[in-house]
Amino acid sequence: MAGCEAKKVCVTGAGGFVASWLVKLLLSKGYIVHGTVRQPGNQKYDHLLKLERASENLTLFKADLLSYESLCSAIVGCSAVFHVASPVPSTTVPNPEVEVIEPAVKGTQNVLEACREAKVERVVFVSSIAAIFMNPNLPTDKVIDESCWSDKEYCRKTQNWYCFSKTEAEEQALDFAKRTALDVVTICPSYVLGPILQSTTVNASSLVLLKILKGCESLENKHRWIVDVRDVADAILLAYEKLEAEGRYLCTSHPIMTKDLVEKLKSIYPNYNYPTTFVEVDDFTRLSSEKLQKLGWRYRPLEETLIDSVESYKEAGILESK
Distance CA 312, CA 167 (A): 31
**Is 195 in a helix, a strand, or coil?**
coil
Task: Kindly provide the residue ranges of all beta strands, DSSP E only, lying in 7-67, ordered along the sequence.
Answer: 8-12, 32-37, 58-62
Identify whether the C-beta of residue 260 lies closer than 8 Å to the C-beta of residue 197.
no
Active site positions, annotated: 166
Contacts of 28 (CB under 8 A, 6+ apart): 52, 53
Distance CA 81, CA 61 (A): 14
Distance CA 84, CA 74 (A): 14
Angle, helices 258-268 vs 302-316, to 10°: value is 70
**Secondary structure element (H or E) that encloses residue 209, with its range:** helix 204-214
Number of residues written out for the chain: 322
Q: If we measure between CA atoms, which residue out of 253, 227, 229, 244 comes closest to residue 294? A: 244
Cα–Cα distances in Å, from 170 out to 99, 185, 287?
18, 10, 19
